[in-house]
Amino acid sequence: MREWVVGGAVIEGPGGVLLVRNRRRDGSHDWSPPGGVIDAGESVIEGLTREVNEETGLVVERWSEVVYEISAVAPDMGWKLRVEARIAMDWSGDLSIDDPDGIVDHAEWVHPDSCATHLAGGARWVVEPVTEWLAERWSGSRQFSYRVDGVYGSELTVVRE
């Protein structure tokens, strides 16, 4: 079973919430908040700061505590995922993309009322937590757990536990 730890960023600016467009192997695209896999030897904060800079060009100086955590397990595909999402409290820079993984190909400030439209079609375990946070803006941290059964996108069954 492969396991990943991912950092997720909620970044708000004058133009709205920052979302990135991800190019998938099959040529499709989906939108998500910026973030990515934490490399070995990095803390979540270090990795999240690096990922945000690579994907957006922004430099985050200060992060909130964890606003939501996601756990997802996909036994048929052989992976487990744990995400820590934080709010960028202080950041600077201009949008530019230099993603060494070649996944992120666009970044855009999206009005919070339009985020659900942009995120539509993305993985449920990505879309639901950020959409719910934008609607409720709770304090503290919330947990989201998902089980993903199946192997292919159109055939996946995702259950929130």
User: 3-state SS string over 105-150?
Assistant: EEEEEECHHHHHHHHCCCCHHHHHHHHHHHHHCCCCCEEEEEEEEC
Looking at the domain covering 2-160, what would its CATH class be? alpha beta
pLDDT in tens, the chain (161 residues): 999 999 999 999 989 999 999 998 888 899 999 999 999 999 999 999 999 999 999 999 999 999 999 999 999 999 999 999 999 999 999 999 999 999 999 999 999 999 999 999 899 999 999 999 999 999 999 999 999 999 987 789 999 99
Residue pair 63/89 in contact (Cβ under 8 Å)? The answer is yes
What predicted TM-score, i.e. pTM, was given to this entire model?
A: 0.94
pLDDT number for residue 154: 77
Token pair of 65 as six digits: 């505590």
